[in-house]
């Protein structure tokens, strides 16, 4: 009996030791080009700031819509002809995998809100097969979106101008239920999308 217990305990030990645990990312862990200078020194307690934006249906979207949710965020624009179509296709792949999962959602922010009106986002959503219950495409105040990208999601380079210009990047960001950054992925890379899907499973399991 004691031998069996020892085997069970050893197996349990190695299972725990080998289990992947997702890191909690802080601003200091990122390339400084992606992080606003005002928070580059932050080492702990970084979370996504509250926001108030408008989705493809004209509905107001805030942190309350993502309360107790794991979600994947990115930054795009509907008229982009380079990386955005690939990113949107890969986000749709994620949507398919999480379609019946109440714990996980998606959130895409336009970096050209002056172009991406609600009507434009709605057309894009229909064209790309966006499920309104799982995936919000949001527009709104340009400074707010800029600040979210640079001070919350740590995902986008600044152009350095005075009009809140952003250099669009391919980053997908995984956010946990406590509004913390748990991973970043190349949204144009299918292998990294697979990794993201696996990390979502790992993150979900950590709440059980």
Residue ranges at the known binding site:
80, 84, 168
Give 64: exposed, middle or buried? Use CB within 10 Å, 0-12, 13-18, 19+: exposed
Compute and round to an integer the Cα radius of gyration of the chain. Answer: 19
CB 160 within 8 A of CB 166: no
The DSSP symbol for 150 reads I
Two structure tokens written together for 199: 């990390």
100-128 as b/e, with b when 16 or more CB fall inside 10 Å?
Answer: eeeebbbbbbbbbbeebebebbbebbeeb
Tell me which residue of 88, 77, 85 sits closest to 168, measured CA to CA: 77
Give 1: exposed, middle or buried? Use CB within 10 Å, 0-12, 13-18, 19+: exposed
Backbone angles phi, psi at 107, to 5 degrees: -150, 115
Residues of the binding site for Cu cation:
80, 84, 168
CB 101 within 8 A of CB 192: no
């Amino acid at each position: 009996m004691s031998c069996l217990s020892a085997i069970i305990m050893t197996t349990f030990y190695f299972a725990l030791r080998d289990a992947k645990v997702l890191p909690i990312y802080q601003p200091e862990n990122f390339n400084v080009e992606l992080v606003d200078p005002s928070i580059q020194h932050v080492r702990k307690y970084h979370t996504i700031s509250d926001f108030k934006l408008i989705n493809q249906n004209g509905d107001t979207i805030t942190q309350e819509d993502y309360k107790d949710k794991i979600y994947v965020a990115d930054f795009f624009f509907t008229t982009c002809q380079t990386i955005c179509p690939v990113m949107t296709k890969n986000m749709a792949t994620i949507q398919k995998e999480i379609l019946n999962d109440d714990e996980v959602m998606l959130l895409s922010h336009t970096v050209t809100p002056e172009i991406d009106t609600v009507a434009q986002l709605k057309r894009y959503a229909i064209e790309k097969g966006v499920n309104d219950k799982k995936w919000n495409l949001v527009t709104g105040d340009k400074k707010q979106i800029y600040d979210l990208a640079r001070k919350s999601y740590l995902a986008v380079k600044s152009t350095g101008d005075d009009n809140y210009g952003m250099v669009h990047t391919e980053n997908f960001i995984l956010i946990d239920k406590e509004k913390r950054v748990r991973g970043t992925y190349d949204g144009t890379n299918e292998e990294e999308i697979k990794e993201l899907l696996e990390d979502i499973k790992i993150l979900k399991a950590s709440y059980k």
